[in-house]
Amino acid sequence: MFNFFKKTAQSIRNIAPKKQSKISKEQLEEILLEADVTYETVEEIIYYLPPSDNVSKDALRKVLLSYFITPAKEKEVEDKPFTELIFGVNGAGKTTTIAKLAFRYKSHGESVLLGAADTFRAAAIEQLKTWAQKLDVPIVSTKQGHDPSAVAYDAISSAKAKGMDRVIIDTAGRLHTQSNLAKELQKIVRICNKAQEGAPHRKILILDGTQGNSAINQAHAFNKMIGIDALIITKLDGTAKGGALFSIAKEIQKPILFVGIGEGKANLIPFDKENFVDSLLDEIYE
């Protein structure tokens, strides 16, 4: 079982303590709602199941798997670095996720440079600098209040000059409804492209798994601002709302790359849709 699934599994067991070979659609509806799948998504899942009232494991598995997009192979970049822009609201776990990504890439033998373009909060700059020191990776940073686009430009330019493989750029996470944040992010995207044609090569939204379906509105807002290429869901080890991933995947129509399952640098695992769906089904069926 995905070890982040324990709390969601417990909430399922509260509804269906005994595993069965088949379950009724009424009971399935109850289980999915308890796991924080939205009502609309539950209704859709039920609709696509065979007409019989009793639902088999195989039939349900087929429908649930259809909600997740398999991530495309990472695009090849002719001239290094491969630049990723990381965004999301404050508290979603952006900075820690950037550190986990840097650790992951470095573990695979790639060189990484960080860009501290969240210049809205001094604490964000310091936190990223601390991680850079721990991971022994270079960082481009400035003082609080400085232009975040300039940091993004300098980070990419520095990485190009050093022949680095990757750049990961942090951004401010003020409330997603604020128009000044939208303008700031749009400017960062434009300036990245000036520093390196085609950058950022991947725009990744970080969503807090403990927020369940309320994260969907954030995702729509950010997608409207600058477009989303992929998602990373954090804090899934601390929530019973694992079912929200179906609703998020349905609404946003973007691949989930990784899930965060703790605070440590290695606590980021690739999202495997089959493993995830099977973990849920194993709690319901014999």
- 32, 44 Cβ separation under 8 angstroms: no
Q: Which residues pair with 206 in a beta bridge?
A: 232
Residues 114 and 43 in one domain: no
- 81, 160 Cβ separation under 8 angstroms: yes
Note the pLDDT of residue 263. 78
* 174 residue type, one letter: R
Q: Which of 226, 152, 141 has its CA nearest to residue 195?
A: 152
Residues 99 and 54 in one domain: no
Q: What is the CATH number of the domain that holds 161?
A: 3.40.50.300
Residues 140 and 189 in one domain: yes
Residues 96 and 230 in one domain: yes
Alpha-carbon span 248 to 230, nearest angstrom: 12
Give the structural domain span for 265: 82-273
Residues 89 and 30 in one domain: no
Note the pLDDT of residue 137. 98
Residues 157 and 208 in one domain: yes
Whether 12 is covered by a domain: the verdict is yes
**Token pair 């973990």: residue:** 279
The mean pLDDT of the chain is 90
Residues 174 and 248 in one domain: yes
Whether 91 is covered by a domain: the verdict is yes
Whether 75 is covered by a domain: the verdict is no
Q: What is the CATH number of the domain that holds 54?
A: 1.20.120
Model confidence pLDDT, tens digit, residues 242-286: 788 888 899 899 999 999 887 778 789 999 999 989 988 988 898
Whether 76 is covered by a domain: the verdict is no
Looking at 196-270, which runs of residues are DSSP E strands? 202-208, 230-234, 256-260, 268-270
Distances (CA, A) of 139 to 108, 147, 151: 19, 16, 10
Residues 241 and 264 in one domain: yes
In terms of phi and psi (left: phi > 0; alpha: psi -120 to 50; beta: otherwise), the region of 200 is beta
Residues 102 and 212 in one domain: yes
Q: How many domains does the chain have?
A: 2
Model confidence pLDDT, tens digit, residues 206-254: 999 888 777 888 898 899 999 999 999 998 777 667 788 888 899 899 9
Model confidence pLDDT, tens digit, residues 58-92: 999 999 999 999 888 888 888 899 999 999 998 89
pLDDT over threshold 50, residue 115: yes
Residue 259 has φ and ψ, to the nearest 5°, of -125, 140
Please state, as a whole number, how many other Cβ atoms lie within 10 Å of the Cβ of residue 133: 10
Residues 64 and 87 in one domain: no
Spell out the residues 6+ positions from residue 276 whose beta carbon is closer than 8 angstroms to its own. Answer: 2, 5, 68, 245
Model confidence pLDDT, tens digit, residues 124-148: 999 999 999 999 999 999 998 899 9
Alpha-carbon span 51 to 245, nearest angstrom: 25
Model confidence pLDDT, tens digit, residues 153-192: 999 999 999 999 999 999 998 765 578 889 999 999 999 9
Model confidence pLDDT, tens digit, residues 20-55: 899 999 999 999 998 888 899 999 999 999 999 999
- 35, 11 Cβ separation under 8 angstroms: yes
Residues 19 and 138 in one domain: no
Residues 130 and 262 in one domain: yes
* 217 residue type, one letter: N
H, E, C per residue of 30-68: HHHHHCCCCHHHHHHHHHHCCCCCEEEHHHHHHHHHCCC
Whether 74 is covered by a domain: the verdict is no
Whether 21 is covered by a domain: the verdict is yes
pTM: 0.93
Q: Peptide bond before 138: cis, by omega within 30 degrees of 0?
A: no
